[in-house]
Structure 1
Amino acid sequence: MSGLRYGEYILVHRLDSGRVAELVLNRPDRMNAVSAELGASLAAATADLADDPSVGVTVITSSSERAFCVGADLKERRDYSEADRTAARPGSRAVYAGVLALPMPVIAAVAGYALGGGYEIALSCDVIVADPGATVGLPETTVGVIPGGGGTQLLPRRVGAATAAHLVFSGRRVPAAEAYDLGLVDFLAPAGQVRARALDLARTYAANSPVALRAAKRALRLGHGKDLAAGLDAEDAAWHTVALSADWAEGVAAFNDRRTPDWPGYRTAIDSRP
């Protein structure tokens, strides 16, 4: 397992011959509160992952047993002036936009607290796996702000407008079992096994064509919320990307030969890296 450090608070490990990237939030003493430094490092890490076609799936985990991430570092921001808050906003947006823009499937492994911006990091992923002891929520209104990392837009897309409105207006912290019932998280792992469960899912996804995975994600994202015709057009464009790829030819050949595919999308990407 190889690793790369981004600043003090973000680690990236490459697993399964590099096909799975594990991005670790690593500020355990502050339960991964998003300081300016952690945010900038996370944005840099996701930018690098987005530019690396050899990554099939990314999993976001935490080095803290207490929290996935508790959101913005309010102690750091306590003395911010209005000008400071305005100046910091573009960098803050970039943190969550970087996760949302990752072109490969992304899985969040949530244990402990995932609150505010921490839950928004998870919401920016495609799949959320939670420990039974996890707690999620968007409590920003209880401290005089609103979700600013995509929460007001991503949560309704998961659970519907009314449920999202209630959770944002109340600032409720939702325990894992209820979160699963509401659709706030997608899977409940056995206690203490959230990372292992997330990595199992990642390996299942990463066994498939990396070209197809990215095209499927693009079609799912572009088609969501559009009318059916626009969604089908997005799917058709993604289909053409795959149909003209070497992965398509390999997939068909492997099926007919009754063997495991050796996806050129991985091999070519790794061989072409500087």
Structure 2
Amino acid sequence: MAEVVLNRSQARNALSTHLAGRIAAACAELATDHSLRAVVLSSADPRAFCVGADLKERAAMRDRDFMAQRLVFRRMFDAVRELPVPTVAAVRGWALGGGMELMLCCDLVVAAEDAVVGVPEVTLGIVPGGGATQLLAKRIGYGKAADLLFTGRKVPATEAERLGLVDRLVPADDVRAQALELAERIAANSPVAVRNARNALRRSLDVDLAAGLDIEDSAWRAAVFSDDRAEGVAAFVERRPAQWPGH
């Protein structure tokens, strides 16, 4: 298991070009680690998970600078989404704009009772560019996504949980520990089974049921003929913890 910690506390983890590049590089490196079983994305700042793009940096940017930064930001969001193992966002305080999109890139969200989330881009004359226009509707449905995207309003943690933006709501001081515990519970299972289940789940979002069932069948076949399946059955019969080969 690994943890990627956003640590630009002086700016509440506002996404500068440099920070986005570092996040992208960290996730790209993790993606090559075949022993990896889960990733937690967290913040060193108790006030904020991430407040979105660094608007102070952008105030001095020209059009060509925006386009150059755009490439870095897309690489960052893609790198988080494309991690090959389950990802858990540990959200405390503000998660706005690109910060909320980083959250949406993760499979699961553990949030503090003091968390506030939102995509306020339209209030600044821009459109979300980290996946919110696509990922929000997949997570909470078209109408609820339209409400958040078109109003730009900020949503408190209790409403975020009710909407389905947050999977687990916990006391503020417990967010990181609960996220790590969740990741560890995932990591204790067969890595072959978990990776294939996650792949089937994610790929099913954009296809009809028949195609989704074919995707599931492929995932089942990959797992059932693996060494992990043999070890899992043996461990169950012998009443001992499984020692997953991972292939």
Give 2:23's aligned residue.
42
Q: Residues 183-231 of structure 1, C-alpha deviation per residue, up to 9 Å, x if partnerless?
A: 1111101231100111111111111011111111100011113111100
Q: Which residue of 1 aligns with 2:215?
A: 234
- After superposition, what is the alpha-carbon deviation per residue over 1:88-116, rounded to whole angstroms, capped at 9, x for unaligned? 21211111111000110000000000000
1:215 maps to 2:214: no
TM-score (norm 2): 0.98
Q: Which runs of 4+ in 1 moved over 6 A?
A: none
Aligned-partner Cα distance in 1 for 2:214–2:128: 32
Structure 1 residue 74 corresponds to structure 2 residue 55? yes
Give the superposition deviation at 1:246.
1.0
1:201 counterpart = 2:168 = no
Which residue of 230, 238, 244 corresponds with 1:257?
A: 238
1:150 to 118, 131, 143: 131
Count of residues in correspondence between the two structures: 247
RMSD: 1.0
Return the alpha-carbon distance in structure 2 between the equivalents of residues 58 and 259 of structure 1: 26
Letter in 1 for 2:206: G
From the two aligned structures, give the one with the greater helix fraction: 2
User: Any residues of structure 2 matched to 1:92-111 within 5 Å, and which?
Assistant: 92-111=73-92
| 1:130 alignment partner in structure 2 | 111
Pairing 1:84-95 to 2, within 5 Å after superposition? 84-95=65-76
| 1:166 matched residue in structure 2 | 147
Partners of 2:225 and 2:7 lie apart in 1 by: 40
Q: Give the corresponding residue for 2:225.
A: 244
Alignment of 1:120 onto 2:113: no
**What is the CA–CA distance in structure 2 between the aligned matches of 1:103 and 1:237, rounded to whole Å?**
17
| Percent of aligned positions that are identical | 55
Cα contact 2:93–2:114 (8 A) shared by 1: yes
CA distance in 2, matches of 1:113, 1:88: 23
CA–CA distance in structure 1, aligned partners of residues 211 and 32 of structure 2: 27
Match for 2:59: what amino acid? R
Separation of aligned partners in 1, 2:18 and 2:26? 12
Query: How far apart, CA to CA, are the structure 1 residues paired with 2:69 and 2:15?
Result: 12
Pairing 1:32–2:13 present? yes
**Aligned partners of 1:43 and 1:87: how far apart in 2?**
15
The answer as to whether partners of 2:51 and 2:97 remain within 8 angstroms in 1 is yes
Tell me which moved more, 71-80 or 111-120: 71-80
Aligned AA for 2:244?
Answer: W
| Length-normalised TM-score, structure 1 | 0.88
Partner of 1:178: 159
Q: Can you give the 5+ residue segments of structure 2 that lack an aligned partner in the other structure?
A: none
